[in-house]
Amino acid sequence: MLSSGSRFASRRSAVGLAGFFASLVLVAAACSSAATTAPSTAATAVPPAATATPMATAAAPASAAPAASAAAVPANPNLILATTTSLQDSGLLDVLVPAFEKQSGYTVKPVAVGSGQAMTMGKECNADVLFVHSPTQEQAFMDAGSGVDRRLVANNYFWIVGPASDPAKISGTTSAVDAFKKIADSQSTFVTRGDNSGTNTKELALWKSAGIQPKGSWYLESGQGMGPTLQIASEKNGYTLTDTATFLANKSKLDLQPLLKTDKSLINIYSVIGVNPAKCPKVNAEGAKAWEDYVTSPAGQQIIGSFGTATVGQTLFTADAGKAYADLTK
C-alpha cells in the first residue's frame, strides 16, 4: 500500500503529465490555426478588385481605375482622318483631336489635304473617316457608294481677301461673281490654290458663274493649302478666296484685308463622312463612327462652336449638328 505522500506525488505527477499533454494539444491547435488562416488571408488580398464588393471598391479605388481604363481601349485604336487643310491651318484639329482621343481611347492620325484629295483617299481605302467641306464632291462621293453616314457638322464663310490698296476696287461689292469680274478685268494678281480642295472648287464655280476662264500672268497657282496660299497672296499683293477660320487665325501674319464677306452664297459647310466598309473591308468602321458621334455630340459641338474666342476674340465656326443642309443653303 502506498503512503499518503506517495499517493500525492503520484497524483501530482499525473496532473503534470496531463498538463504537459494539454499544452502540446494547445500548441498544435494554434499552429494548425495559423497554418490555415495565413493562406486564407493571402487568397483574399488579391481578389477585392475582381469581386468588386462595395467595401473593396471604396478601399482601393486606385486599383479599380486601371481596369476601367483598359476596358475602354478599342479593339482597333488607330484611326486615319482625311481632312481639309483649313481645319488644320485654323488650329481646330489641335484642340478637337486630343479631346476626342482622351474621351474615346482612339489614336487619330490626321492627314490634312484638300477635300478632293481627302475623298480620293477614301475611295482608295486609305482613310477611315473624312472631315471635309465640298458639298458637290461629297454628294458625288456618296452617290458612288464610297461613303456612309454623312453628317452636317459646322459652317463658316468664304471671303475674298486682298491688299488694302484694293487695285480691282472690289470693296463695297456685294456679289462675289461681280468681284471676280473686276479682278479679271483689272488683271489684278489672284492666287488660286489649284489643288481640287473645297475652296478651290468654290473658286472655280465663281469664275464659271462670271463667264471667265482665268489665265495669264495675273492668275497664280500655289498648289498648296490655305495657310501657305494666304501667305503667297500677301507677299504678291494679290487677292485670294479663303475660309474665314484660316484667315482670322493667321491674320496677324498677313498684309491682307477682307474685302468681300457679305455674299450669303459663300457659305462654307463642313461635313463628316465614314468610308464605306462594304467597299473597304479593312476600314476602321467603329472608329469612324466614334469620331462622327463625337464631333456631332454636345461636347464636340461645344469645342467647335466656341473655337477662336480665346485666340482671335471671335468664334471661327458655327456648330450645325442636327440641322438640315437645305436650311443652310436657302
Note the pLDDT tens digit of each residue in 249-294.
Answer: 999 999 999 999 989 999 999 999 999 999 999 999 999 999 999 9
**Same domain (yes/no): 139, 279:** yes
Cβ(106)–Cβ(290) under 8 Å?
A: yes
For residue 44, what is the enclosing H or E element? helix 4-45
Kindly report the number of other CB atoms within 10 A of residue 87's CB atom.
Answer: 28
The pLDDT value given to residue 108: 98
**Is the domain of 168 the same as that of 296?**
no
Which residues span the domain enclosing 198? Answer: 157-266
Strands 219-221 and 190-192: parallel
Cα–Cα dist 229/234, whole Å = 9
**How far apart are alpha carbons 289 and 292 in whole angstroms?**
5
Burial label for 36, CB within 10 Å (0-12, 13-18, 19+), is exposed
Q: Would you state the cell numbers that stand for residue 111, as one nine-digit string?
A: 492627314
| pLDDT score of 33 | 38
Tens digits of residue pLDDT in 105-126: 999 999 999 999 999 999 999 9
Residue at 188 is within a domain:
yes
- Which pLDDT belongs to residue 314? 94
Higher pLDDT, 300 or 56: 300
pLDDT of residue 175: 97
Q: Are 239 and 299 in contact (CB under 8 A)?
A: no
- pLDDT exceeds cutoff 80 at 138: yes
**Band of the pLDDT at 48, cuts 50, 70, 90?**
very low
* Cell representation of residue 201: 472648287
| Count of residues making up the chain | 330
Please state, rounded to an integer, the average pLDDT across all residues of the chain.
83
Has residue 4 been placed in a domain? no
CA 257, CA 234: separation in Å to the nearest integer?
A: 10
Q: What is the pLDDT of residues 62-120, one digit of tens each?
A: 333 333 344 378 999 999 999 999 999 999 999 999 999 999 999 999 999 999 999 99
Identify whether 227 is part of a domain.
yes
Confidence grade of residue 59 (pLDDT, cut at 50, 70, 90): very low
Residues 254 and 276 in one domain: no
Residue 243 has pLDDT above 60, yes or no: yes
Residue-by-residue DSSP string for 241-260? EEEHHHHHHHGGG---EEEE
Residue-level pLDDT at 136: 93
State whether 300 and 172 are in the same domain: no
Residue at 46 is within a domain? no
150 with 275, same domain: the answer is yes
The grid cell for 245 is: 477660320
- Asked if 296 and 252 sit in the same domain, the reply is no
- 101 near 290, Cβ under 8 Å? no
- The helix (run of H) or strand (run of E) holding residue 305 is helix 298-306
- Of residues 144, 152, 79, the one with CA closest to residue 278: 144
What is the rounded distance in angstroms from the CA atom of residue 165 to the CA atom of residue 237?
9
Separation of CA 228 from chain center? 24
* Same domain assignment for residues 320 and 293: yes
Evaluate whether 273 touches 130 at the Cβ level (below 8 Å). Answer: yes
Specify the pTM.
0.77
Whether the predicted pLDDT of 37 surpasses 60: no
Is the same domain home to 217 and 188? yes
| C-alpha–C-alpha distance, residues 99 and 110, integer Å | 14
Dihedral angle, C-alpha 221, 224, 227, 232, nearest 10 ° = -30
C-alpha distance across the termini of the chain, in Å: 130
* Least confident interval from 16-30, 167-181, 254-268, 302-316: 16-30
**CATH code for the domain in which residue 184 is found:** 3.40.190.10
C-alpha cell at 27: 500548441
pLDDT of residue 38: 36
Could you give the number of structural domains in the chain?
A: 2
CA pair distance 196, 246, nearest whole angstrom: 17
Per-residue pLDDT at 296 exceeds 90: yes
Is the domain of 175 the same as that of 230?
Answer: yes
Same domain for 141 and 226?
no
**Ramachandran bin of 49, using left for φ above 0, alpha for ψ from -120 to 50, beta for the remaining angles:** alpha
5 domain residue, yes or no: no
Q: Are residues 254 and 286 in the same domain?
A: no
Is residue 276 domain-shared with residue 150, that is, in the same domain? yes
